[in-house]
Amino acid sequence: MALLSRLIQKFLKEGQLTLVHPDGRRETLGPGGGEAVTIRFADDKVVRDLMRNPRLMLGEAYMDGRIVFEDGKMIDLLSMVQRSNAFEDKEPGGASFVDKGKIAGLARWLRRNNPVKSKDNVAHHYDLGDDLYDLFLDPWRQYSCAYYEEPGQPLEEAQLAKLAHIAGKLHLREGDHVLDIGCGWGGMARYLHKVAGVRVTGITLSEHQLTYARAKAVEEGVADKVDFQLVDYRKLEGQFDRIVTVGMFEHVGAAHYREFYDACRRLLKRDGVMLNHTIGRLGEAGSPDPFTDKWIFPGYHIPSLSQMCEASEQARLMVSDVEILRLHYAHTLRAWLERVEAKKPEIERLYDERFYRMWEFYLGGAIVMFEHGGSCNYQVQYVRDRRALPITRDYMAEAEARYRAIAG
201 contacts 177 by C-beta, under 8 angstroms: yes
> Residues 6 or more apart from 172 whose CB is under 8 A from it?
178, 192, 196, 198, 242, 399
CA–CA distance, 251 with 72 (Å, rounded to integer):
33
Cα dihedral 338, 342, 345, 350, rounded to 10, equals -50
Of the options 3.30.70.2500, 3.30.930.10, 3.40.50.150, 3.40.50.450, the CATH number for the domain spanning 110-407: 3.40.50.150
pLDDT greater than 90 at residue 102:
no
Pairing of strands 375-383, 36-41: unpaired
User: How far is residue 290 from each of residues 48, 59, 143, 262, 377, measured CA to CA in Å?
Assistant: 17, 10, 21, 29, 21
> Minimum mean pLDDT among 85-99, 167-181, 309-323: which range?
85-99
CATH 3.40.50.150 region(s) of the chain? 110-407
Amino acid at 119: K
Cα dihedral 393, 394, 398, 403, rounded to 10, equals 0
pLDDT greater than 70 at residue 121:
no
pLDDT greater than 60 at residue 208:
yes
How many helices and strands in the chain, by DSSP H and E? 17, 11
Q: What digits encode the pLDDT tens for the residues 233-256?
A: 999 999 999 999 999 999 999 999
225 contacts 193 by C-beta, under 8 angstroms: yes
Q: What digits encode the pLDDT tens for the residues 319-374?
A: 999 999 999 999 999 999 999 999 999 999 999 999 999 999 999 999 999 999 99
Q: Considering only CA atoms, which of 233, 213, 221 is closest in space to residue 194?
A: 221
User: Average pLDDT of the chain?
Assistant: 91
Q: What digits encode the pLDDT tens for the residues 82-96?
A: 999 999 998 886 444
233 contacts 259 by C-beta, under 8 angstroms: no
In Å, the largest CA–CA distance within the chain is: 71
Three-state SS for 243-278 is EEEECCHHHCCHHHHHHHHHHHHHHEEEEEEEEEEE
177 contacts 271 by C-beta, under 8 angstroms: no
User: How far is residue 361 from each of residues 62, 106, 366, measured CA to CA in Å?
Assistant: 8, 29, 8
260 contacts 229 by C-beta, under 8 angstroms: no
Find the mean pLDDT for residues 182-193: 98
CA–CA distance, 243 with 276 (Å, rounded to integer):
8
Cβ atoms within 10 A of the Cβ of 108, count?
Answer: 19
Burial class (CB in 10 A: 0-12, 13-18, 19+), 112: exposed
